[in-house]
A and B are shown apart, each in its own frame.
Chain A
Amino acid sequence: MQNISSDTKEADELVAIDEVAAIATNVVKGFEIRKAIPSREKDDMVQEVIRKYLEKKTRINKAYKGDANPKTYLTAIFYRMCCEIIRSGHKSWDHIKKEDPGKYMVDLLSSSGSDNQFIIRNEAEYLKKILSLFDDEKTKIILFLKFFFGLEIHSSDLKAYSRNYKKAGLDRLLHTIPKTNQQTFEILVKVVNKHENSDVKQDAVRIWLYKRIDQIIERLNGSMNRANYDRKTFQLLFEYIYAGEDG
């Protein structure tokens, strides 16, 4: 790397400078892969990140409490620096133009071609990670989405949501086939109230589920044009993962 005079770890350094460069390169590589930056800008971006790091090093080191691995900490710092650089305006690159992203998504997710299957499997893994980050709500979201999208619900889904699902009659409720959206939420609100021993209103469940759906879609799409899902294509991806389960 240019402009770097030493490759040894000084007393106040979190990470040796050669490792700093490797971490910066790795983070920038991630942005390049996601096409958030063009390849030709990669080296400049690495230099810019290292320059910013050297400039703010004292503050960065001071803010570090020692709860995370220093390399992971720097990775998180550099990730934000890259976002800042990209959003700062002087680096505004054209993203790949999409002719009809909605149609492309539908075609992609409906197709069985092996190339497309490769992409879909990767997307499926990404969606699973996103769902995981909903933490203790993950099983509820999956169960409710399965019901909402009319997918078959297995006992494993019910058990993951509620140990006492049989006693509470949740299996009977969730094996009912609703005829309208209204009925869907009438059933879901009963499930919530039985399981959580609460008295929430139907609207609250609807608002909660729609909010989570929108969040998932936003996370799938990412802040830098990662993809372009809408409710329909998200449903297709969700079904790809959860419709074929045989528990």
Chain B
Amino acid sequence: MTDRHLTEEEIAIYAEAFKSGAKKKVPKHIRNHVKECNRCAEEVVAVEQAISQLDENNSSRSKSRKLTAVFWVPVAAGVTLLIGIGGYLLFYNQPDTSPVESREPVAAVDTISSGEKKPAADTFKMQDQKQETEKQEAREPSEVSSPSLQDKNLLAEAYKPHPALENLSSRFEKGEMRGSRFEIEVDNLIKVNARDTIVLRWKNPAEKELSLEVLDNQGNKVEEKTTTKETVRLKDDFDKGLYYWKLVDSDFNLLFCGKLRVE
């Protein structure tokens, strides 16, 4: 390890490479220093998180004021949730608590936070309810609650697209995020019956370690696997509904995000 800490620019270089999954491009002496130095490692992670957040903010701002306004709510709610259940473990993992739609093709994508839409904190609920109400009003203005309609609504809920994941998967569908040229051998939208066996396929000749995550339409992780193979068989007991699946490599690069409709 060099006896001086990294300069701010060296931290920035590593953070950028870490975010884009191009760590290997970082000069060896910088990587070696970070391996040994806790302080610089902490800075790299913090700066990587901050620039990811900045990207999210910019992207959200350019899309609409409304989105910008809601942005920090889940983050703040996430913290409230933590304090509520123990008040001690304080982490800073913004990518997990923020919308995913503005991620770069090879961004350091973590899992979509399953807590993002968790109804444990009131703020989440309020936010979700607001968005849901808006969408409901747009789509189903005449529906009022009655027992039979409630059942239908429940099922409709299970197929309601998750805005951020929907956006992400559509970017892969349009080829906007195939920078890594990862080859997937199934359709972007897979339709299956609830009792069907679901097998996902891709090309992985180098046998890289890949993480597969399946998320429901609330963003909750329902299945997770690590594999070096080219196929994965999913569990058999998916409830009816809309799901998303993501493939991430060991450097946190998001390789693919597809949809799964269980009917």
Contact = CB atoms under 8 A, between A and B. Distances in A.
Given A79-B43, A156-B207, A215-B38, A98 B91 contact: no
Given A35-B90, A63-B7, A63-B9, A80 B111 contact: no
Contact of A126 (B15, B93, B227): B93
Contact of A23 (B23, B46, B54): B54
Interface of A: 22-23, 26-27, 29-30, 33-35, 63-65, 67-69, 71-73, 75-77, 79-80, 96, 98, 101, 104-105, 108, 114-119, 121-123, 125-126, 128-130, 132-138, 155-156, 159-160, 215, 218-219, 222-223, 225-228, 244-247
A73 B87 contact: no
B43 to A, nearest CB: 6
B255 to A, nearest CB: 16
Main secondary structure of the interface of A (DSSP, over half): helix
B10 to A, nearest CB: 8
Contacts of B120: 114-115, 118
B12 A75 contact: yes
Contacts of B82: 119
A227 B35 contact: no
8 contacts: A33-B79, A34-B92, A115-B118, A115-B120, A121-B114, A123-B91, A128-B110, A135-B32
A227 B91 contact: yes
Contact of B50 (A27, A132, A137, A247): A27
B45 A72 contact: no
Chain B interface extent, by class: 35 or more
Contacts of A33: 75, 79, 92, 94
A117 B88 contact: no
A105 B57 CA distance: 33
Interface string B27-67: 00001101100110111111111110110010000000000
B86 interface: yes
B125 to A, nearest CB: 14
A67 B110 CA distance: 26
Contact of A104 (B86, B96, B110, B252): B86
Contacts of A244: 224
A118 B54 CA distance: 24
Contact of A135 (B23, B46, B47, B221): B23
B228 interface: yes
Nearest to B84: A115
B19 to A, nearest CB: 9
B251 interface: yes
Interface in B151-194: none
B209 A156 contact: yes
Given A26-B50, A122-B93, A76 B8 contact: yes
Interface in B204-233: 207, 209, 221, 224-228
Contacts of B31: 135-136
B85 interface: yes
B11 interface: yes
B51 A96 contact: no
A48 to B, nearest CB: 17
A135 B41 CA distance: 11
The 7 closest A-B pairs by CB, nearest first: A118-B115, A68-B12, A76-B8, A72-B12, A34-B92, A156-B228, A125-B110
